[in-house]
Amino acid sequence: MNVKTIVFDLDGTLIDSKEDIADALNHTFGVMGYEPLPMSVIESFVGNGINPLIHRAVEAAGHMDREREVLEFFRERYWERLVVKTRLYDGVMETLEKLDGRYTMGLISNKPQRFTFKIVEELRLARFFDGAVYGGDTLPVKKPDPAALLAIAEKYGTAPEKMMIVGDSAVDVATGKNAGARTVGVTYGFRAAEELKEAGVEVMIDRFGDLLKVLGE
């Protein structure tokens, strides 16, 4: 692929964060006197940001009447324990180091900006992105709106068709398509490969390091 700039999703693409998210959510539910949700259910809710996550969680648990209270408590608990069990997926650091200097790179998450920045800093990823890190509330809109992707294109002077977005969900694929960028889906993340296929992803990879082959490195 003739690509100059690569933009990554965070959760389910670079990092496996599901345990910290589930722990914070089920701790919150416990404080509220609710039964915990299974990991598989919580994992299926991740990807559109914290507000949609909590909305779907309280809806599944049948506690819509306390959604605002659950949201506020969850945000506080998760902020305190963002990177307890969260880890980089295999091959992420090594691959980013190989790409660094050959491509310009950025990151777009639907997590709130302060959560996104803190995780990126603590896992030593910030150095790869030259400040091109966007959370779900950095701009007035979030993925699948292409605004953040187009802002990164402008920052680096890259035509959208020479950009690539790498993610684990249909939201990431739609973001790329909406900007006119190339799309790569990872099959090891929080979403099934079938979702990526249905979204029309161009290429799927089973390991992060396989991105080097896609790029012809």
Known catalytic residues are 9
Helix (H, G, I), strand (E, B) or coil at 189: coil
Report how far residue 2's alpha carbon sits from residue 25's, in angstroms, rounded to the nearest whole number: 42
Distance between the two ends of the chain, CA-based, in angstroms? 10
Q: Look at phi and psi of residue 131 and say left if phi exceeds 0, alpha if psi is from -120 to 50, else beta.
A: left
Measure Cα distances from 16 to 11, 46, 90, 188, 216 in Å. 6, 11, 10, 10, 26
| Phi then psi dihedrals of residue 106, to 5 deg | -145, 175
Any bridge partners for residue 133, and if so which?
A: 107
Pair 149, 176: CB distance under 8 Å: yes
